[in-house]
């Protein structure tokens, strides 16, 4: 099968799977859900950052087991590095929470949230402001930075972003 035909087929399958995602009855059908996940994975493997973000969130929050969580985080990293603000924001949340294998890392959270802010995520500036105001593990409180990010959050709220 030619690469062009493969990409068209992947895009059509992804489009249909995204539409079916909004039907609760479709999500309760194991074979259909498995097919849908295959479409999300195929599109993510083609390098589409929106698909990587979407499937990464699904694996992170609905996946079964540690392998699904790790794959979700990997896809979110790819999407965030591709400019997806939602993925970068979620990676910041995960970095600040930590898990059983990694301690909370506020410096890493700042890195991801600054990337999300640059991509236009509406909550990134307020989370950065709160983080710098309160401090966190590995990050001292910095009131001037907190005020700067609070001003950015206010501006984003006023402009309707």
136 phi and psi angles, rounded to 5 deg: -160, 175
CB atoms within 10 A of CB 147: 13
Distance separating alpha carbons of residues 116 and 118, to the nearest angstrom:
5
161 pLDDT above the threshold of 70: no
1 pLDDT above the threshold of 80: no
Whether the Cβ atoms of residue 82 and residue 118 lie closer than 8 Å to each other: no
Distance separating alpha carbons of residues 119 and 158, to the nearest angstrom:
18
| Burial category of 26 from C-beta neighbours within 10 Å (exposed 0-12, middle 13-18, buried 19 and up) | middle
How many residues in total does the chain contain? Answer: 161
Whether the Cβ atoms of residue 23 and residue 35 lie closer than 8 Å to each other: no
**pLDDT score, position 12:** 96
- pLDDT digits 0-9 by tens, 49-58: 999 999 999 9
- pLDDT digits 0-9 by tens, 85-144: 999 999 999 999 988 788 888 999 999 999 999 998 989 999 999 999 988 888 888 888
**pLDDT score, position 95:** 93
What CATH architecture is 47-160? Alpha Horseshoe (1.25)
User: Tokens in use for 8?
Assistant: 């068209």
What single DSSP character describes residue 2? -
**pLDDT score, position 16:** 96
């Amino acid at each position: 099968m030619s690469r062009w035909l493969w990409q068209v087929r992947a895009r059509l399958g992804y489009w249909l799977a995204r539409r079916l995602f909004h039907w609760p009855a479709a999500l309760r059908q194991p074979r259909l859900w498995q097919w849908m996940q295959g479409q999300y994975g195929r599109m993510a493997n083609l390098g589409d950052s929106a698909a990587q973000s979407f499937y990464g969130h699904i694996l992170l929050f609905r996946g079964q087991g540690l392998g699904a969580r790790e794959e979700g985080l990997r896809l979110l990293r790819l999407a965030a590095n591709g400019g997806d603000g939602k993925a970068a924001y979620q990676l910041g949340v995960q970095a600040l929470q930590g898990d059983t294998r990694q301690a909370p890392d506020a410096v890493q959270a700042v890195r991801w949230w600054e990337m999300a802010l640059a991509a236009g995520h509406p909550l990134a500036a307020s989370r950065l402001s709160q983080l710098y105001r309160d401090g966190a593990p590995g990050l001292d409180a910095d009131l001037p930075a907190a005020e700067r990010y609070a001003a950015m959050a206010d501006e984003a709220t006023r402009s309707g972003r």
